[in-house]
């Protein structure tokens, strides 16, 4: 056996480059995009290289070559020196998420390095690579025997790097995640495991056109479990039986209200459940959860609007699930549903991904969002918590971005802020439609709520906002804030 770094040095560089698509469009609030084309740099299945000319889904203009190079070097170091989990019990390494988010928000090289150093100190090294296992994974019947076990993460990483090098990342994603056969469906399920971390990681890889990060995401998904598949498959079966014309009749907001009103479902999760979806919702009220979640369907031709509705609803229940008189805090689990939402704007633009797969991907996202809401005891949602919010600093978006780039955490806050800014852009043209609660200046107010709440100090997040126990250590708010 040999180390992964030694193995990678033995792999020849591929001779082709991935296709990079540049969109020449305007981004509301954040200036116009850069139209100057820079020299294309080497990007491979094991080499990360960002460019100042890249245009992710939401970014600030003026990113320098020095910033791109610094971010690339730090991401490469993380790729080679750190495991995808920093603890044996599955706590995720968020360095990729954090650095790419603040890179898009034009963080300075010193800020990138400081934030990297802050989170690198507790990472663990990758485990030893076994090349015989990598070879064994190329046999379909053997491949599946390694799934769901994090000790094979590095083996899966090299396996997917090899596959991307040979076939191209678009073909690998279509084969291993979106093909629709048993192997791909199993992998798609695992993409939504671990509170959406694999699909978030994949989203970053696609948004920033980095095959090495896509390989990390595939390997990460492969070592997660697949129990959440019971929800997705159950919903697809129920939807097929109950809505042959695939015509949705309810908005997501209506479904959230019905979930809260269903006493069996809204109380199915218990405070002491190890995992409140698995041990609460899917154990004590699976039929009820499937009944509601299966009612959300995406008709052909409405992908953009339905993506916007998904974003709006996730932000609505994440932002308005407050608990006065306690300080404003955002639920840690709900926040992941918002943080993942930005990538669905990016998925819409991928020409290699079929319309049918975009629809399925979005429907699964909505269904796990609804399950997530129910799993935290379906808290009462009060949008006046947003509309009446008064920040001491009352920052505009530029100021919010500056504050969150400097905030020292593992990247959750900056991801949430960038996802909110993207939500404003994605939802603007649909604001007058039914089911869009978040609109107008509510987006900026939410940005202020996020940065104010994390700067207030511990607890930075509230965990499981519908439970009274979750708020016991959250101080009371100052009356001037509302």
Q: Which of 78-87, 273-282, 432-441 has the lowest mean pLDDT?
A: 78-87
> What is the pLDDT averaged over residues 85-111?
92
The three state secondary structure string of 305-368 is HHHHHHHHHHHHHHHHCCCCCECCCCEHHHHHHHHHHHHHHHHCCCCCCCHHHHHHHHHHHHHH
pLDDT band at residue 22, thresholds of 50, 70 and 90?
Answer: very low
**Band of residue 86 on the pLDDT scale cut at 50, 70, 90:** confident
**Number of residues assigned to the chain:** 482
pLDDT over 90, % of the chain: 85
Backbone angles phi, psi at 104, to 5 degrees: -65, -30
With 80 as the cut, is the pLDDT of residue 238 above it?
Answer: yes
On whether the CB atoms of residues 129 and 3 are closer than 8 A, the answer is yes
Residue 88: band (very low, low, confident or very high) from pLDDT cuts 50, 70, 90: low
- The residue that leads in pLDDT, 1 or 328, is 328
State yes or no: pLDDT of 15 exceeds 90.
Answer: no
Write down the mean pLDDT value for the chain.
90
pLDDT for 13 beyond 70: no
Tell which residue, 140, 235, 236, 227, has the closest CA to residue 183. Answer: 140
**What integer is the mean pLDDT of 2-24?**
36
Tens of pLDDT, residues 329-371: 999 999 999 999 999 999 999 999 999 999 999 999 999 999 9
Contact of 258 with 292, CB cutoff 8 Å = yes
Mean pLDDT calculated for residue range 237-262 = 89
Q: Which residue in 442, 437, 435 sits closest to 387, CA to CA?
A: 442
Q: Are the beta carbons of 310 and 366 closer than 8 angstroms?
A: yes
Using a pLDDT cut of 70, give the percent of the chain over it: 89
CA angle 341, 90, 376 (to 5 degrees): 50
**Between residues 167 and 53, which one has the greater pLDDT?**
167
pLDDT of residue 470: 98
What's the whole-number mean pLDDT along residues 274-302?
Answer: 96
| pLDDT surpasses 50 at 34 | no
pTM above 0.85, yes or no: yes
């Amino acid at each position: 056996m040999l180390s992964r770094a030694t193995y990678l040095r033995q792999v020849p560089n591929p001779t082709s480059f991935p296709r990079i698509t540049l969109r020449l469009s305007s981004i509301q609030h954040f200036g116009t995009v850069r139209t100057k084309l820079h020299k294309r740099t080497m990007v491979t299945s094991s080499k990360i290289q960002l460019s100042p000319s890249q245009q992710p889904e939401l970014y600030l203009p003026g990113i320098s070559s020095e910033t791109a190079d610094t971010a690339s070097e730090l991401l490469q170091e993380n790729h080679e020196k750190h495991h995808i989990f920093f603890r044996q019990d599955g706590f995720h390494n968020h360095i990729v998420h954090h650095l790419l988010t603040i890179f898009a928000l034009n963080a300075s090289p010193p800020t990138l390095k400081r934030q990297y150093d802050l989170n690198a100190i507790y990472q663990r090294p990758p485990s030893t690579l076994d090349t015989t296992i990598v070879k064994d994974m190329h046999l379909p019947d053997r491949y599946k025997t390694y799934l769901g076990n994090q000790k094979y993460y590095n083996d899966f990483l090299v396996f997917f790097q090899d596959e991307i090098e040979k076939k191209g990342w678009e073909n690998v994603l279509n084969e291993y995640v979106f093909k629709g056969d048993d192997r791909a469906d199993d992998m798609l399920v695992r993409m939504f495991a671990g509170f959406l971390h694999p699909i978030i990681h994949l989203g970053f890889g696609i948004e920033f056109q980095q095959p090495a990060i896509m390989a990390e995401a595939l390997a990460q998904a492969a070592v997660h479990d697949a129990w959440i598949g019971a929800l997705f498959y159950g919903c697809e079966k129920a939807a097929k039986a109950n809505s042959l014309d695939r015509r949705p009749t309810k908005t997501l907001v209506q479904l959230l209200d019905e979930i809260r009103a269903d006493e069996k479902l809204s109380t199915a999760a218990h405070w002491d459940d190890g995992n409140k979806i698995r041990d609460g919702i899917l154990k004590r009220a699976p039929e009820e959860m499937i009944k509601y979640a299966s009612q959300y369907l995406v008709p052909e031709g409405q992908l953009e609007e339905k993506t916007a509705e998904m974003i709006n609803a996730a932000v609505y229940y994440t932002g308005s699930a407050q608990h006065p008189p306690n300080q404003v805090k955002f639920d840690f689990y709900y926040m992941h549903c918002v943080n993942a939402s930005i990538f669905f704007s990016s998925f819409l633009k991928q020409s290699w991904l079929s319309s049918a797969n975009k629809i399925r991907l979005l429907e699964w996202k909505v269904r796990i969002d609804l399950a997530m809401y129910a799993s935290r005891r379906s808290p009462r949602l009060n949008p006046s918590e947003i509309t009446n919010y008064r920040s001491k600093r009352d920052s505009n978006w530029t100021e919010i971005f500056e504050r969150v780039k400097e905030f020292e955490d593992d990247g959750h806050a900056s991801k949430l802020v960038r996802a909110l800014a993207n939500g404003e852009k994605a939802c603007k043209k649909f604001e007058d439609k039914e089911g869009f609660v978040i609109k107008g200046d509510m987006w900026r107010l939410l940005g202020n709520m996020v940065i104010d709440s994390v700067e207030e100090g511990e607890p930075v997040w509230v965990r499981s906002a519908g439970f009274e126990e979750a708020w016991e250590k959250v101080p009371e708010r100052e009356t001037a804030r509302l």
